[in-house]
Amino acid sequence: MRIVHLTYTLRGGAGTALRRHHEALREKGIDSQIVVGEAVKGDTPYIHCLKDLVEVPEAKARAFEALARRHQKRDGSGDLWASPESFGLKDTELVRAADIFEVRQLHAGGHRPFFNFRALRAIAREKPVIWRLSDMWAFTGYCAYSLDCERWREGCGPCPQLTTEPEKAELRRPDRDNSAIMWNARRKAFQGVPFHMVFPSEWLLEQARVSLLKDAASFTHIPVGVDPSVFRPAARQANRARLGISKANFVISAVLSNSKNHRKAFDLFADVVGRLRERQRTTLVIVGNVGEIEGHPAFEGLQIVSPGYVGDEAEQAGILSTGDVFLFPSRCDNSAQVLLEAGACALPTVCFDVGGNAEYVREGETGRVIEPFDMVAMSAAVQAYRDDPILAKAHGKAARRFMDQECSVKLQRQRFQKLYATVLAGGAS
């Protein structure tokens, strides 16, 4: 069996999830291949850059790239002009030999669009297409997460995120809101296409059922997988000593994005931390390119350990394992990879009850799921773990068991294999 996956990148949460799945499939003898928009140094022969697979005259490629960049920056419609290579992908030897074509992340955030979503219809005429969504982008006109906006149900526009998200406001102007046009373009492109949709959370599945994708051929929930042999409780005190953290300190672990990322909510993280007591013996371990945080008033009196972006998974696990609790104040997420990684490292998690969080963090069992966006309650939940280390350890052990039993990469592979067999047999619902 050959599975060909399509994704923009193998970095970030969605990219990491695909890479782990790809490796698990190949270990089982399944011919898994990946087509990416962004080549990564050191990739294997099974990972192919779209531009290397489909030959397009240089002048044509440059013209379309300029159009895509211009329209993406102007009003977010760059996908309509993106990548003439997209339409030739179905004719490549790689895709012609595939049994199943599996789509992952098509949008590239603030980067140049890499694939024209209108090319999927032609591929679906010749191959079964499974589309595993990582967010809401496929059924909105602009955003990956609509937050509290529900205009995507009927057609989008005007888009509130063009005025509320600081990192987006720098790129696009509200008076050039093209979200309704893009929503309609997606509707036309996907209407009648027999996609087999896969969702890492029940929350996202239920959103899609009432979206422009409601007539897809099937809807399947497959939880994200994490490798419990890599993400596991590590030598906690040894890792603390290596990072210069006192063994007596209460350690809050977090994975954060830059401070302008509205959804990832650095501002809410700072608010929660700023309310904590007993600050002299508290350490923040922050993984990610969050930027300069020394001198932030919310972190006054706290020890800050900020290793930045950490690409090696074993190193990530070692750093996460120094914590007593994992703090995740995101405004919305589907099935954040870091929730699984923290749980597998036996950390209780404190998060908001948004998106798919409550499916991966069980309230009162593996952590605390707080009503959005009750900053006082979230800070109190973190403080409670400090006041009761026995409870923190019990919830951490329960989180580890849950990841072993429900969210291993092996289980994810088995669930996908079952879906592949069903789709090839003409089933799925």
Q: What is the DSSP string of 224-236?
A: --B-TTTSS---H
Residues 189/86, Cβ–Cβ less than 8 Å: no
pLDDT at 170: 45
Scan for tokens 């706290």, then name that residue: 302
CB 336 within 8 A of CB 319: no
Give the closest residue to 264 by CA, choosing from 177, 201, 194, 329: 329
Alpha helices by DSSP H, listed for 54-147, are: 58-75, 93-96, 120-126
Report domain extents, the chain: 2-225+409-424, 236-406
d(CA 71, CA 78): 5
Closest of 165, 53, 200 to residue 114, by C-alpha: 53
What architecture is the 2-225+409-424 domain classified under in CATH?
Answer: 3-Layer(aba) Sandwich (3.40)
**What pLDDT sits at residue 134?**
92
Q: What is the pLDDT of residue 360?
A: 97
Single-letter code of the amino acid located at 277: R
DSSP structure string for 10-74: SSHHHHHHHHHHHHHHHHTT-EEEEEESS--TT--TTEEEHHHHS---HHHHHHHHHHHHHHHHH
Closest among 232, 329, 317 to 290, alpha carbons compared: 329
Q: Is 291 helix (H, G, I), strand (E, B) or coil?
A: coil
| pLDDT number for residue 291 | 74
pLDDT tens per residue across all 429 residues of the chain: 999 999 988 888 888 899 999 999 999 999 999 999 877 666 789 999 998 999 888 888 788 888 877 777 766 677 777 788 899 999 999 999 999 999 998 887 655 678 899 999 999 999 999 999 999 999 999 889 999 899 999 999 888 887 655 555 444 566 678 889 899 999 999 999 999 999 999 999 999 999 999 999 999 999 999 999 999 998 889 999 999 999 899 999 999 987 778 889 999 999 999 999 888 899 999 998 887 777 789 999 999 999 888 888 999 999 999 999 999 999 999 988 999 999 999 999 999 999 999 999 999 999 999 999 999 999 999 999 999 999 999 999 999 999 999 999 999 999 999 999 999 998 665
**CATH topology agreement for domains 2-225+409-424 and 236-406:** yes
Contact 106, 115 (CB under 8 A): yes
* pLDDT attached to residue 292: 72
Q: What is the pLDDT of residue 13?
A: 82
pTM (global) more than 0.85: yes
Of the candidate CATH numbers 3.30.420.10, 3.40.109.10, 3.40.50.2000, 3.30.70.580, the domain formed by 236-406 belongs to: 3.40.50.2000
What pLDDT does residue 428 have?
64
pLDDT at 110: 55
